[in-house]
């Protein structure tokens, strides 16, 4: 009967390398730093690498994923378009109706804020 524990040990060692193999995602962030993960990056291009039990790797390039745009991005872009249109822009009144029109200095300040919001919230250029 001493063969049974030995047989179980050998079976466990044979199965162990299979648990090591799998998929690994590789990508570079905006700063050029290479990352490896078991999940793909939230956006952008990446390589899907197959790691075998022997440690060999094969890479497959994957297309960039479409990322759902932040709703704040759409609002910021709309604000930039409205403030840059040359049409009068009004403050919001208390009752939801247009309030007073912005003067040139206020309009320029709001345009600068809206452009900063586009940089903060938008991941892709306007298109």
Per-residue pLDDT of 19-28, as tens digits, reads 445 777 787 8
Query: How far apart are the C-alpha atoms of 107 and 82, rounded to whole Å?
Result: 10
Predicted confidence at residue 18, as pLDDT, reads 46
pTM as predicted: 0.45
Query: How far apart are the C-alpha atoms of 81 and 49, rounded to whole Å?
Result: 43
Taking only the tens place, the pLDDT of each residue in 47-58 is 887 777 665 666
Predicted confidence at residue 116, as pLDDT, reads 92
Query: How far apart are the C-alpha atoms of 119 and 7, rounded to whole Å?
Result: 62
Buried b (16+ CB within 10 A) or exposed e, 101-115: ebeeeebeebbeebb
Query: How far apart are the C-alpha atoms of 1 and 51, rounded to whole Å?
Result: 38
Average pLDDT score over residue span 97-112: 89
């Amino acid at each position: 009967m001493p063969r049974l524990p030995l047989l179980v040990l050998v079976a466990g060692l044979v199965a162990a390398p299979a648990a090591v193999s799998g998929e690994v995602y590789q990508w570079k962030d905006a700063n050029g730093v290479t990352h490896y993960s078991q999940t793909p990056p939230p956006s952008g291009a990446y390589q899907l690498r197959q790691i075998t039990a022997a440690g060999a790797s094969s890479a497959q390039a994957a297309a960039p994923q479409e990322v759902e745009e932040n709703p704040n991005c759409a609002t910021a872009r709309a604000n930039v378009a409205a403030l840059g249109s040359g049409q009068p822009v009004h403050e919001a009144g208390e009752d939801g109706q247009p309030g007073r029109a912005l003067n040139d200095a206020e309009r320029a300040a709001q345009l600068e804020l809206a452009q900063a919001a586009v940089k903060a919230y938008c991941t892709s250029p306007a298109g």
